[in-house]
Amino acid sequence: MLFLCATFRIFTLTLTSAVATQPTNPDWGKRFSEIRERFQARRPSFNAIVIGHPGKGKTYSLRTARKPVLVMQFDPGGTQGLDREIAKGEIMVLDYSVDDPSNPTAFRQWESDLRDMLAERFFDHIGSVALDTVTSFGQAVMAQTLKDNGRAPRAGKVQLKHSAGNVVAIPELRDYQAQMGCIRDYLGLLTGISSDLYVLGHIEEMKDEVTGRRSAGPMLTGKLTALLPALFDEYYIADVKMSSTNTPDYFFLTGPDGIYQGRTRLGSGGRLTLKEPQDWKAILKKVGRPTEDLPLHLTSNTV
């Protein structure tokens, strides 16, 4: 507390000194113009977190996103419905879904790949990036956390004790705190890339045992269920219903409806309806975001 108070006093003195020495006739027009130009120089992009039960179209909807699409795959087999687009080179997949719980490497590999892509400005050449799913991504982060803290399962199976007598494979409070901080920080970083960003997640329905109130949110650890959606412009729930012709109509819920609390910032003012068809380019057009694909950079080796 003393350190914080001392730091605050130093900040106050510095601020007072800065105010006392400010120019007598500052060029406010120039300063305001610099701020406006910095904001306008940003490349307009789109980011959304989309949650839903399996089979509701979350991954399949990526075929309608701006190409090329890069899928960071943590859910096993999640991209099987996109085989045609993958074969055409429109969708690329980095697969992190196979991991050894006794010696996890998926998260560190993803972290290294991300570092390289940021350094190369790789995302400037990618129309859309998808993390599929943040739920499984969180499991990969926890597996790495347990490994780093010496509590990963031994011999490829869950054991409560190993030869040293230490309890393993049971997360502790500090593990959950590290996991939540890591997910929050990396997802915040991804929202700043130049590509459109789609973070897909499984949904969890909850009931308050005291009030009986039911709610739904991303299947994540602790307060991330409420905090993570705030990082994104758009927060949709993927769902499907049967049409009058007995065919499935896939849609995104963009606003509140019962226990599902979808939200849109870009679609305010009536630009989006409560239930939008799962067509990302159509949504981008409605909210005034770019819809153009980028070059696929196909080679003779592309299938």
Q: How confident is the model at residue 55 (pLDDT cuts 50, 70, 90)?
A: very high
Residue 217 lies in a domain: yes
How many C-beta atoms surround the C-beta of residue 271 within 10 A? 14
- As a whole number of angstroms, the distance between CA 142 and CA 126 comes to 29
Q: How confident is the model at residue 3 (pLDDT cuts 50, 70, 90)?
A: very low
pLDDT value, residue 2: 43
Kindly tell me the sign of the dihedral angle through the C-alpha atoms of 279, 294, 95, 142: negative
Residue 26 lies in a domain: no
- As a whole number of angstroms, the distance between CA 106 and CA 94 comes to 11
Residue 1 lies in a domain: no
Q: How confident is the model at residue 17 (pLDDT cuts 50, 70, 90)?
A: low
Q: Tell me the H-state helices in the chain.
A: 2-20, 28-40, 83-87, 106-119, 134-148, 173-190, 224-227, 280-286
Mean of the per-residue pLDDT values of the chain: 85
Q: Residue 162 sits in a domain of what CATH number?
A: 3.40.50
Q: Which helix (H) or strand (E) holds 130?
A: strand 128-132
Task: With beta carbons less than 8 A apart as the criterion, state whether 88 and 162 touch.
Answer: no
Average of pLDDT values for 153-178?
A: 64
Nearest Cα to Cα of residue 190 among 134, 263, 135, 261? 134
Residue 17 lies in a domain: no
pLDDT value, residue 38: 73
Instruction: Write down the pTM of the prediction.
Output: 0.82
- As a whole number of angstroms, the distance between CA 97 and CA 100 comes to 10
Residue 64 lies in a domain: yes
At 196-209, the pLDDT tens digits run 999 999 998 888 78
Q: How confident is the model at residue 45 (pLDDT cuts 50, 70, 90)?
A: confident
pLDDT value, residue 161: 52
Whether 290 has a pLDDT exceeding 90, the answer reads yes
Q: How many domains does the chain have?
A: 1
Angle CA 188–235–81, to nearest 5: 95
Q: How confident is the model at residue 182 (pLDDT cuts 50, 70, 90)?
A: very high
Kindly tell me the sign of the dihedral angle through the C-alpha atoms of 271, 277, 279, 282: negative
- As a whole number of angstroms, the distance between CA 122 and CA 261 comes to 34
Q: Percentage of the chain with pLDDT > 90? A: 55
Q: Which two tokens mark 90?
A: 């429109």
pLDDT value, residue 4: 42
Q: Between 82 and 215, name the one with better pLDDT.
A: 82
At 87-144, the pLDDT tens digits run 999 999 999 999 988 889 999 999 999 999 999 999 999 999 999 999 999 999 999 9
β-pairing verdict for 196-207 and 214-218 = antiparallel
Residue 238 lies in a domain: no
Whether 236 has a pLDDT exceeding 90, the answer reads yes
Residue 188 lies in a domain: yes
17-26, 78-87, 166-175, 282-291: which has the minimum mean pLDDT?
A: 17-26
Residue 222 lies in a domain: yes
Task: With beta carbons less than 8 A apart as the criterion, state whether 278 and 62 touch.
Answer: no
Q: How confident is the model at residue 24 (pLDDT cuts 50, 70, 90)?
A: low
Q: Which two tokens mark 135?
A: 């739920």
